[in-house]
Amino acid sequence: MRCSKCRKEAVIWQRYSGLHLCRDHFIADLEAKAKREIRKHRWVQSGDTIAVALSGGKDSGALLHFLARTFGERRDVTLLALTVDEGIAGYRDPNVAREIAESHGVPWHCVSFAEMLGTTTDRIVERKGDTRSCTYCGVLRRHCLNAAARDLGATRLAVGMNLDDEAQSVLMNVLRGDATRLLSSQSPMTGVVPRIKPFAMVPEREVALYAHLTLAHFEEGACPYSSTALRGDVRTLLNDYALRHPAARFALKNLGEELAGVCGTAGELLKICDVCGEPYAGEECRSCQVLREALEG
Ligand code: SF4
Ligand code: ZN
C-alpha cells in the first residue's frame, strides 16, 4: 500500500481516518495529535519541569522520545525521567529505562517500593494472592511517583496512557458502577503533581508502532500478574467492539472528559497524611490503607 499523502510505502492503515501513512507521515501525524492534546489542556508552560514516568516499556519509552524531541531544545522547559521499581522479579529491569533516558540525554531517577515502602509487589502477592495485585501495585506506584516527582521539583508528571487505556478506564468505571471515579475531574490539588497524558488521543497500536520506529529497544515482557485484572477483560471486549465500530474508543474517551467537565468535583479538599506525608481525599489515606492491608497476613 502507498501513503495517502506522498505515495511512499505505507507503514500503517488508520481504520478511523481511512488513511494509509508512510513512516514520516505517520510520525508527523502522531506527534501532531500529541501536541494538539498538550495545547488543548495547556499542559506545558514556560518554567515547567516535566517528570516522565518511565517504566521502560513501549508506551513510556515512546512518550519520553516524543517529549525529548518536542521540548529537549527548549531552555524554559526541563525534562527528567522517573522510574519506579515495583519489585516484580524478571519484569521491568530498571536498566532498560535508564538506557532509554540516557540515550535521549534526559537525567534519570529511580525509586523502588523496597526503599520507599519497605515491601515489593512480589512480597504482597506472596501474602495476599494475586487477585488484587494490580490494585495494590497501582495505588502504591501512584504514591511513589507523586512523592518522588514532587521531591525532584517537578511541576508536571507525564504518563504514557494512550487512547485505549483511557477508553478502557471509562468503560471499567461504568461496569463497576463507580460514579465518583467516572466524574472526578483533573482539577489542581495541593500536593499532587498534575498529570499530563500527551498520548491520550493516540491508539495503542500507533504508540507501539511509534516505539518500534523510534527506539533502539524497550521492555517487551508482560507483567506476570496482569492477566488477573478486570482491565484485561475490558480490553478484549473493547477491541472486539472497535473492529466493527472504529470510533468507539474516541467516543468513550470524549464521554469521560465531558462528564468530568460537566459534573466534576471542583478539586475535592485534600488532607496531608500524618503517616506518609502524601495528600489524600476522603476518610483515610488510600496508600496507607492499601499498604496496611497488603502487609496484613
Ligand atoms: Fe503492577 Fe498490575 Fe501493572 Fe503488574 S500489571 S505492574 S501488578 S499494576
Ligand atoms: Zn498515607
Which pLDDT tens digit goes with each residue over 150-166? Answer: 999 999 999 999 999 99
Phi, psi of 294, rounded to the nearest 5 degrees: -65, -30
State pLDDT tens for residues 102-142: 999 999 999 999 999 999 999 999 888 877 788 889 999 99
Is the CB of residue 133 below 6 angstroms from any atom belonging to ligand 1? Answer: yes
Is the CB of residue 138 below 6 angstroms from any atom belonging to ligand 1? Answer: yes
The three cell numbers locating residue 174: 461504568
- Whole-number pLDDT of residue 81: 98
Find how far residue 178's CA is from the centre of its chain.
Answer: 20
Sequence-distant (6+) residues with CB within 8 A of 223 are 88, 91, 92
Distance CA 70, CA 62 (A): 12
Binding residues: 3, 6, 22, 25, 53-55, 59, 84, 160, 165, 273, 276, 285, 288
The three cell numbers locating residue 38: 498538550
State pLDDT tens for residues 35-49: 999 999 999 999 999
State pLDDT tens for residues 83-110: 999 999 988 889 999 999 999 999 999 9
Q: Which residue has the cell 506518609?
A: 276
Across the range 187-193, mean pLDDT stands at 72
Worst-scoring range by mean pLDDT, 15-24, 26-35, 46-55, 182-191?
A: 182-191
130 CA: nearest ligand 1 atom: 7
**Higher-confidence position of 205 and 284:** 205
Is the CB of residue 83 below 6 angstroms from any atom belonging to ligand 1? Answer: no
Q: For the chain, list the domains and their CATH numbers.
A: 43-295 (3.40.50.620)
Among 225, 228, 231, 234, say which to mutate for ligand 1: greatest number of ligand atoms within 8 Å of CB: 225
ipTM of the complex: 0.95
Identify the burial level of 144 via C-beta atoms within 10 angstroms of its C-beta, where 0-12 means exposed, 13-18 middle and 19 or more buried. Answer: buried
125 CA: nearest ligand 1 atom: 7
Distance CA 112, CA 82 (A): 11
pLDDT band at 227 (very low <50, low <70, confident <90, very high): low
Protein residue with least CA distance to atom 8, ligand 1: 134
